Structure 1
């Protein structure tokens, strides 16, 4: 006899899977510096490793988007479980650049596979409250970042345990979510349930509204995820508690997404996206220009700004271009992560270039980076870092400014548009 669908249990399992995704993000952000020292990696190499997770994600989420309707969400989630477990173990036993590259790729693919299955799963089990429930689901991303950054802070500063132990903490929720999904019955995706044909789905993917959101996802994802992943590198010479800024920002996101329902119903998704862009621009400007305790105020404002970007973009597609189905949601998510991966690699090289320009003429970047603490070379390198971080943040500021203009136009467009229905004619 077929088991009944249990929405609440499926939602809990989905949240645990996303928790592992976010733990990988928060822990990786906190251990990048340690990895650089242990394996003698420069910022360009670290940016390639970190960026691997962001292009492994779109690779998996796009492939998952194409096959989820045919193979079902359960098989995808079992694949995510296996990829997470392999990636975590490979990271623990990494011995250099390439092993870190491969392990991060596995984790990135696992994260993308989770999104490929769980976004349409949440939309399927809560068809009348998609954007709000997607916000509740996605609160576990910043929530996990808070936990991950605090794990790094505790293990590094009080327990004196290396990155291997920090990464190993992810094994527990991975095993739990894998077990839960193995036991639970899954529904079919909304598109399959409604009988929407492949032709109708591809036509929806070519609509101007979908293309607009697809492109805007580049900017919203870079604003949120690039800044968060690199906060410890960008601000560690501006404040002694750079990793706690990420925890604070993620904490604001977690609370905001928990109470998303009333805000989304009052302002509508387009209005929420516009407000998010405004707060993000103000917060990013402050992060690049203030110091001392004001930087924590900047982190709060920035956190408010990026709180609703990701779930609202995904929910907007599901509600306003419903015939695009799971593939539409996953293509948008994949576009965001792919944009972050490219931007991260580019900015890693840009960061090293700024450092080099702020060192004495003909100075060896590697020699200054590896200089012993207390030497003139170490002091000069720290000063160059203090200049480079805010400069990268200021360069990124142009993105949310563009989003403010774009989402203003979206607000006016959506006021005159009738909400579409999923059912076929």
Structure 2
């Protein structure tokens, strides 16, 4: 079943591309208003990280759940569900009066984002089954494309001045309407797995119950935090869900696939969690150049957009695993450089980082689809779900917590050296995150601080931002080593080759 012919496929690709663009609008516009939310709602850096995180991890709920029955309800209904979530979530953000309303609105929109990807990934793998890595990379060029357009529009509003953050959030509605209109009257095929006659249990067995436990545990840890459940209860629910999956699949999963799920997590943290924070992290250095911090994200997104459109050539030359190893090395170098870069050196550091992260998402999904085609939507979407879970629950909060911890330690050292009382004056009451209890800077008190204190606080905060980038740079170092190991594994088997089903 070669589905690459037929004029309807172009419209289906365009619909999927527009829907992914809408998810990236949600991402970048949230990243560009997070500091405004921090001021208006008196949020700590860790709370801001939690709001950035909840824009990612609920994605995994819908992308994983829809994977189990998307072949029954179809791609069209899944995308309509996404559109409803996006509109409801926007309504909550517009009317928010505090942290939990922002959290709820962002949560619902993230559910819509997950539904988009739950449909788009297996749809494109079905339409272009002859060259999955190439076309999945092209599909996910929509992500940086949306960030470029959304970022330019938002920064244009900043330049014009006088616009409330709600106007920026309202920009999210435009791409949602575009893909909703494209959905009207569109006909969708059945998935590659269904067309090839692979049964449901075989699909579940490809991923296996070990992968199901990894995702269930991560989801329940965050759900438990939000609803104040004990760790015992949260893990008990995760185990129960895993047992249910084990009964249905009767298989622990393919070892290579489980390894891919684990590797997707640091890849996603490196790309998505860093992108969530990059405007805040690079703000002081960009200000010295007279530029808005959002230009770092737009520049790297432009690199990603171009590279993903033309990634197919490099993937054929190096094979997907070679590309992922190379990309990990470049991303690590870029982040280490960015943590200490000043002036125009930021451009060189951002270039390394941007080129590296370009290949992560689409190429990793391509490997899963090419090596485990019998897994259909489940192997594709559990991989993407694992990445979003790690980025949302751990990565975004990790970067925020790293800043809070570094700033707090810096205040303690300053008080000891100069006999001041900055810790008692400017730290909040104790709060709780996924990493435990912590104290952070009270933004309202910082805003009202004397100039001398503010200079100290700003200096410590800037140093904390650089420390956070150094920490996250260690992750692509680990993935580089892992992908080298996988390359050697395939060489012993005669080289990397896509697995074909259904006579493709």
TM tier, shorter chain? over 0.9
Q: Is the 8 A contact 2:21 2:143 kept in 1?
A: yes
Q: CA deviation at 1:374?
A: 7.2
Match of 1:237 in 2: 284
| Offset at residue 329 of structure 1 (A) | 0.4
CA distance in 2 between partners of 1:79 and 1:270 (Å): 34
Q: Structure 1 length normalisation: TM-score?
A: 0.95
Is the contact made by 1:155 and 1:162 (CA closer than 8 Å) also made in structure 2? no
1:296 to 332, 339, 347: 347
Query: 1:183 aligns to what SS in structure 2?
Result: coil
Contact 1:11–1:137 (Cα < 8 Å) also in 2: yes
Partner residue of 1:65? 67
Aligned counterparts of 1:371 and 1:179: Cα–Cα separation in 2: 45
1:397 alignment partner, SS class: helix
Tell me if the contact between 1:273 and 1:312 (Cα under 8 Å) persists in the aligned partners: yes
Residue 367 of structure 1 deviates from its aligned partner by: 6.0
Q: Name the residue aligned to 2:397.
A: 345
Q: Distance in 1 between matches of 2:455 and 2:149?
A: 32
- CA–CA distance in 2 between the matches of 1:368 and 1:72? 49
Q: Distance in 2 between matches of 1:320 and 1:414?
A: 11
Distance 1:369 1:121 in 2: 51
Larger CA deviation: 67-76 vs 233-242: 233-242
Deviation at 1:369, TM superposition (A): 5.4
Deviations 1:64-118 (A, max 9, x none): 1112112111110000010011112221222110110000001111111100000
| In structure 2, distance between residues paired with 1:181 and 1:59 | 23
Bigger Rg over Cα: 2
Q: Are 1:93 and 2:144 matched, yes or no?
A: no
Out of 377, 381, 405, the position equivalent to 1:330 is: 381
Deviations 1:238-269 (A, max 9, x none): 33132211111111101111111211111111
Deviation of the 1:373 alpha carbon: 7.9
Contact 1:368 1:381 in 2 (8 A): no
Q: Equivalent residue of 1:55, what SS?
A: coil
Instruction: Give the whole-Å Cα distance in 2 for the aligned partners of 1:84 and 1:121.
Output: 21
Partner of 1:261: 312
* Equivalent residue number for residue 259 of structure 2: 212
Count of aligned pairs between the two proteins:
421
2:110 to 84, 88, 108: 108
* Cα deviation 1:173-193 (Å, max 9, x = unaligned): 211211211310011111111
Q: Is the 1:18–1:114 Cα contact (8 Å) retained in structure 2? A: yes
Match of 2:332 in 1: 281
TM-score (norm 2): 0.81
Any stretches of 5+ residues in structure 2 without a counterpart? 1-5, 208-252, 416-422, 427-440
1:95 is paired with a residue of what secondary structure?
coil
* 1:405 and 2:484 aligned: no
Q: What residue number does 2:144 align with? A: 142
Q: Distance in 2 between matches of 1:60 and 1:129?
A: 26
Instruction: Say if 1:183 and 1:150 are closer, same or farther in 2 by CA, change over 3 A.
Output: same
Please name the residue that 1:316 is paired with.
Answer: 367
Kindly state the Cα deviation for residue 385 of structure 1 after the two structures are TM-superposed. Answer: 1.4
Matches of 1:322 and 1:314, distance apart in 2 = 11
- Checking the alignment, whether the CA contact within 8 Å between 1:237 and 1:385 is kept in structure 2 is no
